[in-house]
Structure 1
Amino acid sequence: MIVIYGIDKHLNPIKSQLSEVIHGCMQSVLGMPEDKRAHRFIPLAKEDFFYPGGRTDCYTVIEINMMKGRKPETQKALIKALFKEIESALGINPIDIEITIKEQEKYQWGFRGITGDEASDLKYNVDV
């Protein structure tokens, strides 16, 4: 699951395109299938979104939650792809993008009535 935060006046108009870019990176770097998009957008009023100095109102936070198993090189490749593709497609400078990857053990995920370590039919590889 991916959670995206930003100032509402900036984030709302680009949600669909940003979702496409993020999912494209997830597919190309992690091998995620097309139907495994789980994006949650949290648009905030400017007065509710505090961010570091030197950033603009385009400042966007992307939190990627995933099952443990991806190699550090793979995670770094994902982060770099996101910076590059978001800047290319949406014109958001990398200084205005913050990306965090949060890994949880497979047994800490629950979906379709089972835990992640019980799933034997995933259409993608977690250990990449």
Structure 2
Amino acid sequence: MPFIRTNVPHHLSAQARQCIVQAIHDALVSSIGMPADELFNMVASYQPGDFACSRTFNGVVRSEEVVVVEITLRRGRSDAMKRALYEAIACNLQSAAGVNPADVFIFMHENDYSDWSVGEGRLAMGLVQNRGAGA
């Protein structure tokens, strides 16, 4: 179950934010096989001056409209899967929300089942994995 934190420029509409959330979710489903019902994305906005970043780091020319995607998930994805995920997120954000791929900044934290509690105050690995409503 990935947990996503997405930081977007403050002026984006609720509709644009929802498109961004869906674009990231679709990339997770298509590129790393995440189940479609595992959607957890906390969206926050930042004001001008709240996010300082190099506009040219590593040869990528960024605007002031950077979308920061922080992904926390269980370990086990190969570098090839991560590469496909990053590419899918950038592509989906461009097509769904008009975000320039140069303005997509992604980073990942990996951990284990014992690092999660997804309900009832119990370790995630102690809960039966249910799929969807009424499962």
Instruction: Please indicate, yes or no, whether the TM-score normalized by the shorter chain is above 0.5.
Output: yes
SS of the equivalent of 2:71 reads strand
Runs of 4+ aligned residues of structure 1 deviating over 6 Å after TM superposition are: none
* Cα shift at 1:34: 2.6
Q: For the residues of structure 2 that align with 1:99 and 1:28, how far apart are their CA atoms?
A: 17
Residue-pair matches, total: 123
Structure 1 pair 5–11 and aligned structure 2 pair: CA distance change class (3 A): farther
Answer yes or no: is 1:89 the counterpart of 2:65.
Answer: no
Answer yes or no: is 1:74 the counterpart of 2:81.
Answer: yes
SS of the equivalent of 2:11 reads helix
Structure 1 portions without partners, runs of 5+: 124-128
Is the 1:6–1:43 Cα contact (8 Å) retained in structure 2?
Answer: yes
**TM-score (ref. length: structure 2):** 0.80
Over aligned residues, Cα RMSD in angstroms? Answer: 1.9
SS of the equivalent of 2:23 reads helix
Identity among equivalent positions (%) equals 24
Partner of residue 117 from structure 2, selected from 110, 113, 120: 110
Which residue does 2:63 correspond to in 1? 56
**TM-score (ref. length: structure 1):** 0.83
* Cα shift at 1:11: 6.5
Structure 2 portions without partners, runs of 5+: 56-60
Answer yes or no: is 1:9 the counterpart of 2:4.
Answer: no
Choose between structure 1 and 2: higher helix proportion. Answer: 1
Is the 1:11–1:43 Cα contact (8 Å) retained in structure 2?
Answer: no
Residue type of the alignment partner of 1:117: M
Q: For the residues of structure 2 that align with 1:122 and 1:101, how far apart are their CA atoms?
A: 25
Partner of residue 129 from structure 2, selected from 108, 121, 128: 121
